[in-house]
């Protein structure tokens, strides 16, 4: 592998790179950085977790150093580089990494995304920034509010471009790009390329250099992929047992729905795991706190939807669980890319139910790998298990195991009951004077020869809704 020292980066950038512990470049970095330094458009495809952020941010910062200055005037700090990303978490992560790379320069950077108050973002934009990291929707809000001007942008980066097209950002992208100068450098990076991405590249990139360091849609060979055949009712038990059996310290657990994500997180909490949920119904502050707690190792299982499937760089995550197989096969590649990053080994465990045959076939077709299904045998569970209280019931039974054993009770001999007062066991006897006929007996009609005397006749009532002839 090539070393960063061979790039001849500017001293402030080289110092920051060395301080961050970067020594050898990944294949996408080794091929993309020299091309971007020459000012060419790039369309780069690489497996997720291979360092695409550094592949575009370092050469852009190097080329922008000619614009750095110490002036406090916002006019001296126009936006010169725009980085667009599909999710808030990814935007925040990329902005943090760019901030570290530019630590010893005078270049300013800022990030804008939805879900939080616009006022702090507006204040940062008004002070002037050279590098702006944004999600498309919130950037359009700032453009319409005239908080940012993009007429001096020299570099545009579309990261995870396929995801932006999947979630319907193409109209927003077209509106944003219409505000930019036609003469600019455009860089397009993603782990997966589709025909739609190539058409987008043909529309907005000028004679791009295509860089593919691996076969498109290929999964990292450092990730051990395993598939388990389970029923829908047993998936949570399989997850619980596999985490405990394999002593997995931390893992992403991916679900397809926000409601299912929240329910699974609560159920795993009851099973004794330290969990947190990350999905679109949570506020941005809650999402960032959940992600930070996971990064700090305070959370064992992060149950999330596909908002966490793209680009999140959390080192040393040993495993990823696909509790639900993704509806889009390309999301499978991104999900399992959360583990096995930067050459480390990882484990991807996926649960396959009988109704997932089509989804599994799409994954096999995309990755060109045949899935070897393993059968997970459900252990014997208590008869009265509602699927939510298993661990507590087990703990309750375990806590009683050390107590004095209960006296065996015969199946044929019920427990001795307290003697009852004979008054409550005798039939009711009315107090009727001797020789008189009870009122209810005197009014009782004569019994029909075909009807038992113990059956009272039906009371005649007026039927307004029924014809007597019918």
DSSP 232-253: GGGHHHHHHHHHHHTT---EEE
Burial class (CB in 10 A: 0-12, 13-18, 19+), 468: exposed
pLDDT attached to residue 369: 86
Distance of CA 124 to the CA centre of its chain: 30
Rounded to two decimals, the pTM is: 0.61
Q: Which fold has domain 4-212?
A: Rossmann fold (3.40.50)
Tokens of residue 82, six digits: 């725009």
Q: Which residues of the chain have pLDDT under 50?
A: 384-415, 447-448, 470
pLDDT attached to residue 375: 85
Report d(CA 369, CA 218) in Å as an integer: 9
pLDDT attached to residue 138: 93
> What DSSP designation does 309 have?
S
The CATH code of domain 223-378 reads 3.40.50.300
pLDDT attached to residue 195: 76
Comma-separated ranges of CATH 3.40.50.300 domains in the chain:
4-212, 223-378
Contacts of 240-246 with C-beta under 8 Å, sequence gap 24+, read: 240/268, 240/271, 240/273, 240/391, 241/379, 242/321, 242/349, 243/273, 243/300, 243/301, 246/319, 246/347
> Apex CA 366: angle with CA 361 and CA 369, to 5°?
75
């Amino acid at each position: 592998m090539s070393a960063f020292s061979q790039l001849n980066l500017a001293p402030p950038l080289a110092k920051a790179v060395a301080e961050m512990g970067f020594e050898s470049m990944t294949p996408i970095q080794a091929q993309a950085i020299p091309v971007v330094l020459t000012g060419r458009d790039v369309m780069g495809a690489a497996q997720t977790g291979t360092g695409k952020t550094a592949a575009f941010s370092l050469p852009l910062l190097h080329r922008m150093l000619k614009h750095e200055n110490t002036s406090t005037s916002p006019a001296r700090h126009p936006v010169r580089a725009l980085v667009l990303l599909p999710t808030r978490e990814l935007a925040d992560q990329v902005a943090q990494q760019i901030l570290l790379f530019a630590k010893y320069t005078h270049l300013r950077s800022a990030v804008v995304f939805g879900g939080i108050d616009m006022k702090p973002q507006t204040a940062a934009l008004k002070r002037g920034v050279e590098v702006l990291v944004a999600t498309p929707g919130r950037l359009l809000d700032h453009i319409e509010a005239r908080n940012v001007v993009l007429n001096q942008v020299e570099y545009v980066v579309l990261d995870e471009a396929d995801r932006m097209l999947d979630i319907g950002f193409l109209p927003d992208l077209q509106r944003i790009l219409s505000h930019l100068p036609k003469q600019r450098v455009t860089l397009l990076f993603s782990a997966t390329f589709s025909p739609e991405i190539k058409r987008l590249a043909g529309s907005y990139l000028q004679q791009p250099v295509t860089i593919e360091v691996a076969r498109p849609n290929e999964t990292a060979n450092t990730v051990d992929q395993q598939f388990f055949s389970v029923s829908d009712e047993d998936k949570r038990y399989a997850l619980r047992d596999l985490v405990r059996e394999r002593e997995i310290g931390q893992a992403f657990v991916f679900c397809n729905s926000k409601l299912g994500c929240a329910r699974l997180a609560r159920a795993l909490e009851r099973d004794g795991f330290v969990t947190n949920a990350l999905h679109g119904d949570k506020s941005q502050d809650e999402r960032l706190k959940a992600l930070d707690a996971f990064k700090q190792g305070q959370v064992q299982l992060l149950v999330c939807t596909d908002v966490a499937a793209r680009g999140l760089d959390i080192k040393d995550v040993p495993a990823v669980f696909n509790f639900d197989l993704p509806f889009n096969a390309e999301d499978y590649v991104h999900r399992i890319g959360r583990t096995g990053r930067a050459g480390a080994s990882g484990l991807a465990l996926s649960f396959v139910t009988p109704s997932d045959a089509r989804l599994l076939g799409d994954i096999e077709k995309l990755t060109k790998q045949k899935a070897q299904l393993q059968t997970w045998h459900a252990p014997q569970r208590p008869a009265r298990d509602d699927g939510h209280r298993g661990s507590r019931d087990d703990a309750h039974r375990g806590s009683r195991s050390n107590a004095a054993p209960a006296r065996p009770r015969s199946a044929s001999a019920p427990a001795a009951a307290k003697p009852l007062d004979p008054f409550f066991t005798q039939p009711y006897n009315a107090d009727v004077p001797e020789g008189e006929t009870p009122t209810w007996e005197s009014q009782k009609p004569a019994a029909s020869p075909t009807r038992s005397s113990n059956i009272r006749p039906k009371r005649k009532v007026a039927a307004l809704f029924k014809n007597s002839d019918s």
